[in-house]
Amino acid sequence: MFSNLYQLLRYRGLVQSLVARELKARYRGSVLGFLWSFINPLLLLGIYSFIFTTIMPNRVEGVQPYALFMLCGILPWTWFAASLTEASGSLIAGGNLIKKVLFPAEVLPIVSVLANMVHFALALPIVVIFLVLYQHPPDLAGLIWFPVAVIVQLIFTTGLALVLAAMTVHFRDIRDILANLLMLWFFATPIIYPWSQKEMEAYRRLFNLNPFTHLAVTYQEVLFFPGPVGHWRWLLALGVASVLVFLAGYWLFDRLRDSFAEVV
């Protein structure tokens, strides 16, 4: 397993090419192209602002403007959910590639994760601009934890993506189950409601078992809330767990590797 994992470094050029191809394919034929990476978060912010200021006004203290607070958690969640959804079908969609003897199949789910990470990165300037406009500039001291959160999420998401990609080849129902599971996971994560709410205290231990809770709260503390990042211990603990998830995911993927070409 570790020898195959080490071989991935040799394929970094291939990964970069496939990520670029994936990004170009997503906007092929569209007039605005990559501008949609900036327009989408703008539209999302506009929709949330309209809903939570006009239709269902939300006046929760400490998280105003509420739409901007939500966006700080929804963007990393979108990266996470889209990566898992696309990775689950990546081996099936790339069946003609993995039937080639020398092609590393694990590259396909990894490309799904990295391509969605690029979209996440492109949306960040929009968030930062509006944070400054609304006089919510990120705390410079807390920003050192932002790349840590991104790396932890990248490792954790890649580990799950490898598991889902390998299992979906043999159990196609996983893609349908995943869509419902991700919806449940989203509402079980403090993204549309603040972690600091008093109502959360009774369920805090339960929410601590949700790994994405610690990523969402860290992003919110880094980008939205002023002051130091108080969730850093949980983030580091999740970082250790993410490495274990990645190694377990790659081990499972490596064990099932030989069966992919026969099934897809």
Mean pLDDT across the stretch 41-62? 76
Mean pLDDT across the stretch 166-194? 90
pLDDT at 49: 77
Number of alpha carbons in the 13 Å side-chain half-sphere of residue 97: 14
3-state class (DSSP) for residue 26: helix
d(CA 218, CA 214): 6
Looking at the predicted structure, is the pLDDT value of residue 4 above 70?
Answer: no
Mean pLDDT across the stretch 56-64? 74
pLDDT at 205: 85
Give percent above pLDDT 70 in the chain: 92
d(CA 63, CA 73): 12
CA–centroid distance for 18 within its chain: 19
pLDDT at 184: 93
The rounded mean pLDDT for the chain is: 85
Residue indicated by tokens 């406009």: 133
Give percent above pLDDT 90 in the chain: 38
DSSP string, 44-103: HHHHHHHIIIIIS----TT--SHHHHHHHHHHHHHHHHHHHHHHHTHHHHTHHHHTSTT-
pLDDT at 114: 95
Looking at the predicted structure, is the pLDDT value of residue 69 above 80?
Answer: yes
**CA dihedral of residues 193, 194, 196, 201 (deg, nearest 10):** 30
Looking at the predicted structure, is the pLDDT value of residue 116 above 90?
Answer: yes
Looking at the predicted structure, is the pLDDT value of residue 29 above 70?
Answer: no
Q: Poorest-confidence range of 77-91, 92-106, 182-196? A: 92-106
Report residue 263's pLDDT band, with 50, 70 and 90 as the boundaries: low
pLDDT at 31: 62
DSSP string, 134-178: TT-PPPTTGGGHHHHHHHHHHHHHHHHHHHHHHHHHH-TTHHHHH
3-state class (DSSP) for residue 104: coil
Looking at the predicted structure, is the pLDDT value of residue 207 above 80?
Answer: yes
Predicted model pTM: 0.91
d(CA 79, CA 75): 6
**Greater model confidence, 63 or 160:** 160
| Helix, strand, coil percentages, rounded to 5, for the chain | 80, 0, 20
Q: Where are the domains of the chain?
A: 2-263
Report residue 215's pLDDT band, with 50, 70 and 90 as the boundaries: very high
